[in-house]
Structures are given as structure tokens and as C-alpha cells.
């Protein structure tokens, strides 16, 4: 079975864009996707003034075990159910290009869509390990970043290597929408409604009830 088996052809292409759009990039395993993910996406869309958001379902996170990873087609279909927002494009284009690392996906996006203002979006719980990502400094120096508050992770941004390294590049939340028009590095921490849901907890719950 190939990674892309069962994945619709439209999901393996870069989503359509028009020049000048403001687009958020929200990537993850989404194993499974849940309302907490949608809350992060919609908080970012609202506070950053985004036209679109790409919900990028990855083949698999190199920093996580793939033992409990559901097939890509299954996670994509579930994400399309959860992310029922007309301005959200759920995509799995990384699998078509055999991409494993976020930096490689972002390099491809930058090359293919030079006329779009992009911002990488992640939950605050991902910030603690951001420095372990491939070419994380390049990501921060090339793309605007938005970190959305998550339960139990509110203070992580204060001590994380990324926050410390790029402390002077942090934008006040009141000026969050400006992060897309600034020369990177530029990042913002966004507060908003929070959900305690987690993919790990949901997987454990499904195991107990199966």
C-alpha cells in the first residue's frame, strides 16, 4: 500500500490561489483531527486577517512514532469533515512530492507561490520542540510565524529556544495582522478560546473503547 493510496487527486496538488492573497499554513499529522485543531485554525484566520488557510495533512511527523499513524487517506477524509469552513483548503500535497520535513514543504510553496503572503501557524504545544525541526532557523527567517495558545502550553513560548532566539522579532498581538507584511523573522503569539482536546488522548480513548 502506497502512502497516497485512496487520496483524491485534488488533494495531492497545491491549493489554488490568486495573487496577493494572505494564506495561513497549518500542518500536522491530524491523527485524528479534532475541534481543537479547528479552533487553532479559525483563531489564526480571524486574528491574522487571512483570506485562506491550508490545512496540510502530512504523511507523518518525523519526530513522532508512526506505530499508531492512521492511513493518510483516512486522516485527510476526517480532516475535511472537521474543517468544514469554505476558506479552509484541506490538502495532502506533501505526499505527492515525498516530502518529510516542514522546511522542504515551505521551500516548495515559496518557489511555486511567490506572489502569496504566507504565515506558518502552529499550536503553542509545538513551540517547545520547534528547535528540533529540520532547518528551523531558516523557517523562522523566511516565513512569518503565528503561535496559537493551547492548554498547558501558554508559558512554553517564554522559554523555548525559538522564542529566546527570535525574542526581538516578536510582534505585539494587537498588531498580529501585520506579521504577514513584515520582513521575517516576525512572529506573534495569539490568545483565544482553547480546547483541551488532543489527538493522543482521542487515540487512547478509542483503544479503550474498541
Picking from 68-82, 137-151, 188-202, which range would have the lowest pLDDT averaged per residue?
A: 188-202
pLDDT higher than 90, residue 174: yes
Hey, what's the cell of 127?
A: 513551540
SS3 187: strand
pLDDT higher than 60, residue 161: yes
pLDDT of 202 reads 45
pLDDT higher than 60, residue 209: no
- Tell me what the pLDDT averaged over the chain comes to: 89
Hey, what's the cell of 160?
A: 523555548
pLDDT of 194 reads 54
pLDDT higher than 70, residue 156: no
Handedness of CA 165, 161, 157, 117 (dihedral sign): positive
Picking from 103-117, 133-147, 194-208, which range would have the lowest pLDDT averaged per residue?
A: 194-208
**CA distances to 22, 109, 157 from 167, in Å:** 24, 26, 10
Q: Report d(CA 83, CA 15) in Å as an integer.
A: 15
SS3 108: helix
Burial (CB < 10 A; 0-12, 13-18, 19+), residue 18, is exposed
Q: Determine phi and psi for 56, rounding to 5 degrees.
A: -95, 105
Picking from 9-23, 55-69, 106-120, which range would have the lowest pLDDT averaged per residue?
A: 55-69
Q: Report d(CA 85, CA 100) in Å as an integer.
A: 27
Q: Report d(CA 76, CA 5) in Å as an integer.
A: 12
Q: Is the peptide bond before 32 cis (omega within 30 degrees of 0)?
A: yes
* pLDDT category of residue 124 using cuts at 50, 70 and 90: confident
pLDDT of 2 reads 87
Higher pLDDT, 127 or 80: 80
pTM as predicted: 0.89
What are the tens digits of pLDDT across the range 187-203? Answer: 999 997 655 555 455 44
pLDDT higher than 60, residue 21: yes
Query: Which strands, in side-by-side order, build the sheet including 117-123?
Result: 88-91, 52-57, 22-28, 117-123, 144-148, 187-190, 170-171
pLDDT higher than 60, residue 101: yes
List of domains in the chain: 29-204 (3.40.50.620)
50 closest CA partner among 149, 116, 122, 138 = 116
Q: DSSP secondary-structure letter at 178?
A: G
Amino acid at each position: 500500500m502506497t502512502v497516497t493510496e485512496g487520496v483524491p487527486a485534488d488533494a495531492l496538488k497545491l491549493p489554488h490561489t490568486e495573487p496577493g492573497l494572505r494564506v495561513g499554513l497549518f500542518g500536522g499529522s491530524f491523527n485524528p483531527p479534532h475541534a481543537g485543531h479547528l479552533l487553532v485554525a479559525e483563531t489564526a484566520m480571524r486574528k491574522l486577517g487571512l483570506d485562506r488557510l491550508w490545512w496540510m495533512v502530512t504523511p507523518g511527523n518525523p519526530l513522532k512514532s508512526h506505530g499508531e499513524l492512521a492511513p493518510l487517506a483516512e486522516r485527510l477524509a476526517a480532516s475535511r469533515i472537521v474543517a468544514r469552513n469554505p476558506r479552509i483548503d484541506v490538502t495532502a500535497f506533501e505526499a505527492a512530492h515525498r516530502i518529510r520535513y516542514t522546511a522542504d514543504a515551505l521551500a516548495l510553496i515559496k518557489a511555486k507561490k511567490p506572489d502569496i503572503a504566507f504565515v506558518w501557524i502552529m499550536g503553542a504545544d509545538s513551540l517547545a520542540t520547534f528547535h528540533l525541526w529540520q532547518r528551523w532557523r531558516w523557517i523562522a527567517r523566511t516565513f512569518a510565524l503565528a503561535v496559537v495558545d493551547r492548554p498547558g502550553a501558554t508559558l512554553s513560548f517564554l522559554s523555548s529556544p525559538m522564542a529566546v532566539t527570535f525574542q526581538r522579532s516578536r510582534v505585539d498581538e494587537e498588531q498580529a495582522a501585520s506579521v504577514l507584511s513584515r520582513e521575517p523573522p516576525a512572529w506573534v503569539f495569539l490568545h483565544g478560546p482553547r480546547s483541551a482536546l488532543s489527538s493522543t488522548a482521542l487515540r487512547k480513548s478509542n483503544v479503550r473503547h474498541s
